[in-house]
């Protein structure tokens, strides 16, 4: 999955050298070869970057690709609950469009207008039957107000880590209030071992983005944890090389470290009980947790 610090590393492509500075710090990119992990598999906790432009969709897909099995799990849950389905933090429709293709009415919520445009365009390209089952709603999850009622709500792709802790309780209460009797909320998030975060508050990864448009893209991602604020910042330094030019792009994602006990208390206060829990080990200090919660009524 990754090469641990202290062992010999594969050679980082020369194209990355200009974007890697001489030393590592909060305001500097990581030095080449200094604790950089080369990975070709799941990148722990890096999965919820939002594409800033059309060209960043390739990076977004690379980060979420190893997690795509969740589509099957969430579809299986939808078959037991029925629709309508509420997809919170839908992005460009990674879940919403497949759900509509399987006949579920979906309301997709995201704060990124361009992502919702891509979602609508994807659904239209498939056909009017699918497009007619999808409704998009531009809104920030913090302060969200809903009008419909749903059989299933999703916070997939670790979207709950993008919601500030001060706003999370209100979001869960709002969602629970709009679930029909017997409805479910399903969410997943990344759990980090706190002692390991104290010992290693920064991690750096290098990986190649699979692209099929003639562009060669490598990314160095720096993951920085702040336990005082229970926050996490991931900075992606991308180098994209084509036939005629090289482009360098910096993207940043801010997330929150989820305390499982606090989240459980917030779910309970919202009138939701955890019906099922699935854990998946990502690396030696990181695991993914999927919760399925039901309304108490």
171 and 268 share one domain: yes
244 and 157 share one domain: no
Question: For the segment 44-103, what is each residue's pLDDT rounded down to a tens digit?
Answer: 566 655 666 677 777 877 777 655 667 888 999 999 999 899 999 988 888 999 999 999
Domain end marker among 240, 256, 272: 256
Tell me whether residue 9 is in a domain. no
Listed in sequence order, the residues at least 6 apart from 152 whose beta carbon sits closer than 8 Å to its beta carbon are: 77, 78, 81, 82, 83, 84, 85, 86, 183, 184, 185, 186
70 and 150 share one domain: yes
175 and 263 share one domain: yes
Closest CA to 275 of 296, 249, 256: 296
124 and 198 share one domain: no
Question: For the segment 161-184, what is each residue's pLDDT rounded down to a tens digit?
Answer: 989 999 999 999 999 999 998 899
- 282 pLDDT exceeds 90? no
Tell me whether residue 4 is in a domain. no
124 and 214 share one domain: no
289 and 162 share one domain: yes
Q: What total of structural domains would you count in the chain?
A: 2
106 and 239 share one domain: no
Q: What pLDDT is recorded for position 193?
A: 84
Range of the domain at 154: 65-191+258-295
Q: What are phi and psi of 149, to 5 degrees?
A: -130, 150
69 and 140 share one domain: yes
Q: Which of 10-14, 206-210, 264-268, 276-280 has the highest mean pLDDT?
A: 264-268
Tell me whether residue 6 is in a domain. no
CATH code, domain carrying 173: 3.40.50.150
Tell me whether residue 110 is in a domain. yes
Over residues 264-281, mean pLDDT: 92
158 and 265 share one domain: yes
Tell me whether residue 103 is in a domain. yes
CA distance 219 to 93: 24
181 and 198 share one domain: no
163 and 92 share one domain: yes
Q: What is the pTM of this model?
A: 0.81
Question: For the segment 129-156, what is each residue's pLDDT rounded down to a tens digit?
Answer: 999 999 999 999 988 999 999 999 999 8
Listed in sequence order, the residues at least 6 apart from 16 whose beta carbon sits closer than 8 Å to its beta carbon are: 32, 206, 218, 220, 237, 239
Question: For the segment 103-128, what is each residue's pLDDT rounded down to a tens digit?
Answer: 999 999 998 888 899 899 999 999 99
Q: How confident is the model at residue 26 (pLDDT cuts 50, 70, 90)?
A: very low
Question: For the segment 195-252, what is each residue's pLDDT rounded down to a tens digit?
Answer: 888 888 998 888 888 888 889 999 888 989 999 999 999 898 999 998 888 989 888 8
Q: How confident is the model at residue 33 (pLDDT cuts 50, 70, 90)?
A: very low
CA distance 81 to 215: 42
Report the mean per-residue pLDDT for the chain. Answer: 81
């Amino acid at each position: 999955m990754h090469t641990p610090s202290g062992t010999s590393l594969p050679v980082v492509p020369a194209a990355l050298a200009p974007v890697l500075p001489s030393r590592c710090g909060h305001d500097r990119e990581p030095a080449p070869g200094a604790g950089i992990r080369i990975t070709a598999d799941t990148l722990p906790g890096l999965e919820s970057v939002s594409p800033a432009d059309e060209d960043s969709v390739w990076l977004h897909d690379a980060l979420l690709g190893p997690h795509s099995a969740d589509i099957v799990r969430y579809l299986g849950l939808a078959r037991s609950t029925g629709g309508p389905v509420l997809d919170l933090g839908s992005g460009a429709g990674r879940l919403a469009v497949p759900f509509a293709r399987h006949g579920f009415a979906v309301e997709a919520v995201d704060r990124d207008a361009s992502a919702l445009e891509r979602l609508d365009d994807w659904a239209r390209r498939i056909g009017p039957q699918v497009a007619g089952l999808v409704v998009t709603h531009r809104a920030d999850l913090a302060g969200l107000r809903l009008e419909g009622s749903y059989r299933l709500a999703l916070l997939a792709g670790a979207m709950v880590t993008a919601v500030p802790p001060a706003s999370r309780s209100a979001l869960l209460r709002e969602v629970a209030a709009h679930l029909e009797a017997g409805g479910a909320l399903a969410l997943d998030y990344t759990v980090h071992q706190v002692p390991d975060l104290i010992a290693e508050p920064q991690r750096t990864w290098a990986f190649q983005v699979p692209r099929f448009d003639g562009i060669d893209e490598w990314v160095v991602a720096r993951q920085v944890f702040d336990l005082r604020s229970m926050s996490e910042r991931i900075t992606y330094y991308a180098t994209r090389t084509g036939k005629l030019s090289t482009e360098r792009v910096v993207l940043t994602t801010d997330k929150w470290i989820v305390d499982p006990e606090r989240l459980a208390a917030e779910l309970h206060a919202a009138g939701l009980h955890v019906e099922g829990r699935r854990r998946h080990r990502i690396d030696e200090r990181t695991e993914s947790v999927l919760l399925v919660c039901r309304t108490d009524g």
